[in-house]
Amino acid sequence: MDKLKPFLEKHFGHTTFKEGQRQIIEAVINGEDVFAMLATGSGKSLCYQFPALWKKGTAIIVSPLLSLMENQVQELKQSGIRQAAAYNSFLSPPEKEHILRHLADYKIVYISPESLQHPEVASRLEKLNVSLLAVDEAHCISQWGHEFRTDYLRIKEIRRLAGNPPCIALTATASADAKKDIIEKLELTNPLVHCDSVDRPNIYIDVRKKKNEEEKRETLREECSRLPLPGMIYVNSRLKAEELAAFIREENGLKTSAYHGGMSNEDRRLVQQQFLNDEIDVICCTNAFGMGINKPNIRFVIHYHYSKDMESFMQEIGRAGRDGRQSLSLVLYDAADGMLPRRMLEHEFPSEEEIRMVSHDPDRPEWTTSRFLLERYGLEEVHARFLQFYIHKWYQSSRTQPLEDFISSVIQRRMEWKLQKLKQKEYWLHQKDRCRRTALLEVFDEHNKNIVTPCCDVCGEYTMHVYQQRKERESELSWEERLKWILHQ
DNA sequence: CGCAGCACTGCTATCAGTGCTGCGGTGCTATAGT
């Protein structure tokens, strides 16, 4: 007798499981660890929400963005699941205290990796019956955990503290390397591994080398005048995002907006909402834009600057064509583009001078805080947290080498790793004799490529059909929209 | 694999070349002050 289905219908209103869901849910219920790579829209959340409600105790869900947590809790509450909360800095101190005191009354609690590390939180979890620990958008562990948000690498410690509950890692895109890294960093034991294909057959992949920035802009202007809308343009600086938004607005008469981390929360929310409502034709953004965006009709993603590795690229182009209709990924690059990612890579780490200073300071307490490092040495915040994390790691280790050497070797290893990822990306851009899709999928350990037409610039030209769509769209418009469009021209 | 902006230099032009420096992305949190 199948008990899962009635439960599914009662709490989530579905009559059947989607591909893969059932197996994952059963594994979590049985106390197994899971690594799941599921395509967007295939019901990732259900994989932890179902077991969370099914099992006794409280499920802890680690989520990277406050906005994602808020959305999830809101959705749960709307579908009648009220014992859900997000524990984060949006809450006032009394509200936080209230949630912590009554943790056991909740079935699902969302939390950031940073908040998870708070001593009050950790000590509460120690006494709590944690039904499962889920890490949503788990690729963040591998993408952010080593340098930018090191608390991602400390999740396993809290997991141990909470009595080793079953752990489920969920993501839409993780390369073969990232998958290995995630499993290792979370200490998943014999996990059930479920991987959907990351291939997106309705996205045509195009790469074009340009002589210089001027040529890139020319191409941008041309493409924005004929590609179906809406679309996205990725750049690697905030200033450039603003600049290109203005450029396309002026040159093409399109509704554009920039989006980057330097904007206020209100502006970001507004722009995002306008884009989702089809009130913006082209959004020019840094990598701040994307996570949690589920807009079905994005027709193109142009990379005005290329992303730093293959999996960021996959994530970024994967935002196009969620509705299944023909879409386009276009990368424009020139010889000077390699400079910035290398500079940024170096800038991610503290300098040798800073490491020496910190390592040899006799006044530095053993369990130093990032705040201490920040104030005493005037380090950048990210560098201070990076150092704090690896200093602690050194104290936990056998300390066979001096602290300075330990940190330097970590940095060297990570730099080499990241540089190799960047080179892999550049190799992929430059090579002109292999199918781009085949080469892209190999990074994700997929070797049985489907025959896709149109596929990519190497397999064959494909432009006319795509451009045709814009014309079709324009003739579908109402007279008001058409008038607006004509006035723009 | 750059580029803009600045100070400096040589030696007297309000310049022309050189060389240095800074820039550049992702988000959480806590806390002080309106």
Write out pLDDT tens, residues A257-270. Answer: 999 998 999 999 99
Task: Report the alpha-carbon distance of residue A383 to residue A354 in Å, rounded.
Answer: 9
Task: Report the alpha-carbon distance of residue A181 to residue A152 in Å, rounded.
Answer: 12
Q: How confident is the model at residue A172 (pLDDT cuts 50, 70, 90)?
A: very high
Task: Report the alpha-carbon distance of residue A277 to residue A297 in Å, rounded.
Answer: 11
Provide the pLDDT for residue A154.
96
Here the tokens at position A325 are 């209709």
Here the tokens at position A97 are 């205290």
Spanning CA of A461 to C1' of B2, the rounded length in angstroms is 32
Provide the pLDDT for residue A1.
64
Spanning CA of A49 to C1' of B13, the rounded length in angstroms is 77
Spanning CA of A380 to C1' of B9, the rounded length in angstroms is 35
Q: What is the pTM of this model?
A: 0.92
What average pLDDT does range A340-348 have in this prediction?
89
**Strand A58-62's sheet: what is its strand order?**
A84-87, A108-111, A58-62, A130-135, A167-171, A34-37, A192-195
Same topology, domains A4-195 and A203-340+422-482? Answer is: yes
Here the tokens at position A89 are 């800095």
Q: Give me the sign of the Cα torsion angle A249, A252, A253, A254.
A: negative
Provide the pLDDT for residue A461.
73
Each domain of chain A, given as residue ranges in start order, spans 4-195, 203-340+422-482
Asked if A79 CB < 7 A from strand B, the reply is no
Give the nucleotide nearest to A151 (CA→C1').
B28
User: Length of chain A, please?
Assistant: 489
Provide the pLDDT for residue A489.
44
Residue A202 has pLDDT above 80, yes or no: yes
Task: Report the alpha-carbon distance of residue A156 to residue A101 in Å, rounded.
Answer: 23
Task: Report the alpha-carbon distance of residue A296 to residue A277 in Å, rounded.
Answer: 11
| Nearest partner of A431 among A347, A303, A262, A310, judged by Cα | A310
Residue A238 has pLDDT above 60, yes or no: yes
Contacts of residue A11, defined as CB under 8 A and 6 or more positions apart, other chains included, come to A50, A53, A79, A80, A81
Provide the 10 A C-beta neighbour count for residue A322: 19
For chain A, give the mean pLDDT. Answer: 92
Provide the pLDDT for residue A483.
64
Spanning CA of A290 to C1' of B26, the rounded length in angstroms is 11
What average pLDDT does range A256-284 have in this prediction?
94
Residue A376 has pLDDT above 90, yes or no: no
Here the tokens at position A224 are 């924005």
CA angle A382, A386, A389 (to 5 degrees): 140
Spanning CA of A479 to C1' of B23, the rounded length in angstroms is 47
Asked if A369 CB < 7 A from strand B, the reply is no
What average pLDDT does range A419-444 have in this prediction?
94
Residue A414 has pLDDT above 50, yes or no: yes
Contacts of residue A95, defined as CB under 8 A and 6 or more positions apart, other chains included, come to none
What average pLDDT does range A418-434 have in this prediction?
93
Here the tokens at position A69 are 């947590």
What average pLDDT does range A472-478 have in this prediction?
64
Protein-nucleic contacts, chain A 243-282 to strand B, CB < 7 Å:
260-262
Task: Report the alpha-carbon distance of residue A197 to residue A46 in Å, rounded.
Answer: 19
| Between A233 and A40, the higher pLDDT residue | A233
Asked if A67 CB < 7 A from strand B, the reply is yes
User: Helix crossing, A352-359 with A403-430: angle to 10°?
Assistant: 160
Give the nucleotide nearest to A289 (CA→C1').
B26
Asked if A336 CB < 7 A from strand B, the reply is yes
Q: How confident is the model at residue A336 (pLDDT cuts 50, 70, 90)?
A: confident
Q: Which CATH class is domain A4-195?
A: alpha beta
Task: Report the alpha-carbon distance of residue A66 to residue A258 in Å, rounded.
Answer: 21
Phi and psi angles of residue A342, each rounded to the nearest 5 degrees, phi first: -70, -40
Least confident of A59-63, A74-78, A101-105, A465-469: A465-469
Give the nucleotide nearest to A237 (CA→C1').
B24
Task: Report the alpha-carbon distance of residue A12 to residue A81 in Å, rounded.
Answer: 9
- Residue A475, class by beta-carbon neighbours within 10 Å (0-12 exposed, 13-18 middle, 19+ buried)? exposed
Contacts of residue A140, defined as CB under 8 A and 6 or more positions apart, other chains included, come to A64, A149, A152
Phi and psi angles of residue A50, each rounded to the nearest 5 degrees, phi first: -60, -55
CATH number of A203-340+422-482: 3.40.50.300
Asked if A288 CB < 7 A from strand B, the reply is yes
Asked if A346 CB < 7 A from strand B, the reply is no
Asked if A142 CB < 7 A from strand B, the reply is no
List, for residues A139-166, the tens digit of each pLDDT value: 999 999 999 999 999 999 999 999 999 9
| Nearest partner of A23 among A36, A12, A14, judged by Cα | A36
What average pLDDT does range A3-7 have in this prediction?
93
Residue A468 has pLDDT above 70, yes or no: no
Give the nucleotide nearest to A291 (CA→C1').
B26
Provide the pLDDT for residue A479.
64
Phi and psi angles of residue A379, each rounded to the nearest 5 degrees, phi first: -75, 160
Asked if A144 CB < 7 A from strand B, the reply is yes
The Cβ-side half-sphere exposure at A140, using a 13 Å CA radius, reads: 22
Spanning CA of A360 to C1' of B8, the rounded length in angstroms is 37
